[in-house]
Amino acid sequence: MQRQAISIKVKEMTEKIVNQWIDQYGSRLHEVLLEKPKYKALFEQKKFYH
């Protein structure tokens, strides 16, 4: 049960962060993330471009 609670907390925190990024950067979110090396690597690995 504890592992499930942690999983839910991680999901909620991730959702909160992404929503904050969307509010802050709006339609430029993908551009901002691509400027940061850590996120750029994830975008390239997962091919999240649109």
Domain ranges of the chain: 2-46
Q: Taking Cα atoms as reference points, which of 18, 37, 8, 21 lies closest to residue 45?
A: 37
Contact residues for 31 (Cβ-Cβ < 8 A; gap 6+)? 25
Query: Tens of pLDDT along 1-50?
Result: 688 888 889 889 989 988 998 999 898 887 887 888 888 887 777 766 55
pLDDT of amino acid 48: 61
pTM of whole model > 0.75? no
CA 5 to the chain's CA centroid? 20
pLDDT at 23: 94
